[in-house]
Amino acid sequence: MATGTAYRVCPLCEAVCGLELTLEAGRVVKARGDGAHVLSHGFICPKGAAFPQLVNDPDRLRLPMVRRGADWRVVSWDEAFDAVAHGLRGVVERHGREAVAVYLGNPTVHSLAYGFYISPFLKALGTRNRFSAATVDQMPKHVACGYMYGDPLAIPVPDLDRTSFVLLLGANPWESNGSLATAPDFRGRLKDVQARGGRFVVVDPRRTATAAHADRHLAIRPGTDALLLFALTHVLFAEGLVNLGRLEEHVRGVEAVRSLAQDFTPARVAAATGIAAEDIVALARELAAAKAAAVYARIGTCTVEFGTLAQWLVDVLNALTGNLDREGGAMWPLAAHMPAVPARRRGFVTGRWRTRVRGLPEVLGEMPTATLAEEIDTPGEGQIRSLFTVAGNPARSAPNSKRLERALGDLELMVSVDPYLNETTRHAHVILPPTDASRTGHYDFAFTALAVRNHAVYSRPAIAPGPDDLDDCAILSRLAAIASEQAWEYDSSEPERRLDQALRAGAYGLSVEQLLARPHGIDLGPLRPRVPEVLQTPDGRIDLCPEPIAADVARLRATLEHRNGDSLVLIGRRHLRSNNSWMHNLPMLVAGPDRCTLHVHPSDAARVGVSSGQDARVTSRVGSVVVAVEVTDAIAPGVVSLPHGWGHRGPGLRLSTATEHAGVNSNALTDELVVEPLSGNAVLNGIPVEVEPAPVDGAG
Ligand code: SF4
């Protein structure tokens, strides 16, 4: 029985902090920050401390289950895989391979399986119906980087430890610990910017915890970040503040950006954004004057109707101020599994195929998750009849998730690789639960490639897996064998062998052996300039004004003429103790006051007749929810806010703690018919809603 101390990376969010696990009699009994970890230096948040509750959760499924009607039966792994093989064969025979779809959730990327087994599984299924959380929260960043740099995964991150000015839009790292920028103790790193004499400014409709600690908070109207960013660009050109520095010879399209920015004067965008023209001018000057600066924008700017334009303009501003690819600016990490020089220039295109019902373009080989429900519930050739979900809960994370839930109930075969019987997996016919994170090896492919300091960490399982434990590498490998109708050949040392090969071929020539000898990780140093080798555009230059993005500017320009009406708009919010839907079953994380409340500004509360503690009914085009109100001046007038990932209600859930803290599902209000056109990303912020006092009986 494992006893003692083990080290592993926390798999619960993008910060990938080092954990020190205390083991007793084959169980993890305590988690604290690994003080010697090369990137996190002992930092953890409450979610990391709850790691023992997560891996020991009594509601966690340990063995596969098969459903007939409402009855679940625990079965052997062989029986479960036989059920999958039989069901899949039938669906493919009746409807073809395009009738099979896959949805990959966020936690997928924290696994060794992400590096080695997802791709073969998708290839074996042979379907274009691939969906993931990327089109729920981040696809605009991939599209912007794809067009600008030729590689949608080449995402520059703020060089937080060396910068003197950070402009954050739609990001709340005080609570989220950062996203698409891996920086354990993000808040500490921002405080250090201030301690070095620098500043950080937050643009957000809410006075978030990050905004409350900022040197300046600008409360913007939801969904108008692209207007603000364009106005900042305009000021840089108008005042002669453009200076590309070292990148001058590597960039094309500067004059085209200048021309596009002409209409977006600070005075013209002020009304739409709610930010005064003089504040915009001052911000542009401060950004240009900073010794080193980084513009960083996250989910609040991605999940809106102009997400790709906003993400593009973030990088445009970094480039025009000479901060792209320079110390203290926005830089590209180089992870240990990545080659120093990408193999070939391949450029970037979208729309190689389109969704069946709405005709939306694929992006990165994926269909927009906002279209998943209609692809299931709309009859016709190519209709999805079978779905595999991997570590995802689209019944809570997809827009208009009530429609999706109804659709899931009609599938001929649904298979979920997931440890919980939740709002999504209750519709599955087979659940394949991977063993918990204390029994798996860990190397983070995704987030070492987004880290603000280059580093590498690998850990073997802290506790030896039992005879009935299968990790997601083994499960996905076997599903790939089933889908390709081949014999399953796999041994549990295979992922580590493949990791070793990837590390040896990587930029630093490391090996698994070297990483195992350094359980707190190997520090590979600060970020280094990577232009031009990081660029994969056909001509090897940064395209500052890609044609598909430029063509979308007219749509944005048209909003300059709009005037904000009286309608309230809904936005989301993050809390330190929550990460999407999957950690609400841990008592440590849901203790304390109800967090799933509707934030309403006092002036709006008075106007619509609601008050703190009272229930309000919130109604959008697609549905309504009844939720407790919290009146607060931390939210801008005209805006209301609900956190996402809640609403743990419905028959058949096995989430004993989460159902006691059910909350309401914000995606019962979001609209699947509104997507960001370039990326297919769901629009989850800026949803028009009506708020009124709930009927006394609370019926919604
Ligand atoms: S910040 Fe993220 S990675 Fe770090 S301990 Fe918390 S959940 Fe884990």
| 40 Cα–ligand 1 center, Å | 9
Residue with structure tokens 């990780």? 521
| 440 Cα–ligand 1 center, Å | 18
The answer to whether the CB of 47 is under 6 A from ligand 1 is yes
What is the pLDDT at residue 561?
Answer: 79
Residue nearest to atom 4 of ligand 1 (CA): 17
What is the pLDDT at residue 107?
Answer: 87
The answer to whether the CB of 184 is under 6 A from ligand 1 is yes
| 462 Cα–ligand 1 center, Å | 18
> How many angstroms separate the CA atoms of 381 and 357, rounded?
10
Residue nearest to atom 8 of ligand 1 (CA): 48
| 465 Cα–ligand 1 center, Å | 24
Residues 232-256 as b/e (b if ≥16 CB within 10 A, e otherwise) read bbbbbbbeebbebeebeebbebbee
The answer to whether the CB of 12 is under 6 A from ligand 1 is yes
The answer to whether the CB of 48 is under 6 A from ligand 1 is yes
| 576 Cα–ligand 1 center, Å | 9
| 176 Cα–ligand 1 center, Å | 9
Helical (H) or strand (E) element with 388? strand 386-390
| 189 Cα–ligand 1 center, Å | 15
Contact 330, 156 (CB under 8 A): yes
Q: Which region, left, alpha or beta, applies to residue 358 given φ > 0 means left and ψ of -120 to 50 means alpha?
A: alpha
Contacts of 157 (CB under 8 A, 6+ apart): 180, 181, 182, 183, 296, 330, 331, 332, 333, 450, 451, 452, 527
Contacts of 673 (CB under 8 A, 6+ apart): 370, 400
Provide the 8-state DSSP code for 694: P
The answer to whether the CB of 177 is under 6 A from ligand 1 is yes
Contact 424, 392 (CB under 8 A): yes
Instruction: Assess whether the previous peptide bond of 532 is cis (omega < 30° from 0).
Output: yes
What predicted TM-score, i.e. pTM, was given to this entire model?
0.97
Contacts of 41 (CB under 8 A, 6+ apart): 33, 35, 184, 185
Provide the 8-state DSSP code for 645: S
- Report the nearest atom of ligand 1 relative to the CA of 12: 7
Residue nearest to atom 6 of ligand 1 (CA): 45
The answer to whether the CB of 437 is under 6 A from ligand 1 is no
Contact 476, 417 (CB under 8 A): yes
The answer to whether the CB of 17 is under 6 A from ligand 1 is yes
| 14 Cα–ligand 1 center, Å | 7
Kindly state the tokens that stand for 91: 């669906």
- Report the nearest atom of ligand 1 relative to the CA of 33: 5
The answer to whether the CB of 451 is under 6 A from ligand 1 is no
> How many angstroms separate the CA atoms of 84 and 61, rounded?
18
| 673 Cα–ligand 1 center, Å | 34
Residue nearest to atom 2 of ligand 1 (CA): 13
> How many angstroms separate the CA atoms of 248 and 542, rounded?
10
- Report the nearest atom of ligand 1 relative to the CA of 185: 1
The answer to whether the CB of 44 is under 6 A from ligand 1 is yes
DSSP secondary structure, 669-680, as one string: TS-TT-B-TTT-
Helical (H) or strand (E) element with 447? helix 445-448
What is the pLDDT at residue 698?
Answer: 45
Contacts of 432 (CB under 8 A, 6+ apart): 64, 77, 80, 81, 84, 415, 416, 417, 418, 470, 475, 479
The best mutation among 7, 8, 12 to test binding of ligand 1, ranked by most ligand atoms within 8 Å of the C-beta, falls on: 12
| 48 Cα–ligand 1 center, Å | 5
| 75 Cα–ligand 1 center, Å | 34
Q: What are phi and psi of 145, to 5 degrees?
A: -70, -35
Contacts of 259 (CB under 8 A, 6+ apart): none
The best mutation among 8, 14, 17 to test binding of ligand 1, ranked by most ligand atoms within 8 Å of the C-beta, falls on: 17
- Report the nearest atom of ligand 1 relative to the CA of 9: 3
Running along the chain, 700 residues long, what does each successive block of 10 average in pLDDT? 92 96 97 98 97 97 96 98 98 98 92 92 97 97 98 97 98 95 98 98 98 98 97 98 97 98 97 96 98 97 97 98 98 96 82 98 98 98 97 97 97 98 98 97 96 98 96 97 96 96 98 98 98 95 98 96 78 92 93 95 98 97 98 98 95 96 97 98 97 74
The answer to whether the CB of 10 is under 6 A from ligand 1 is yes
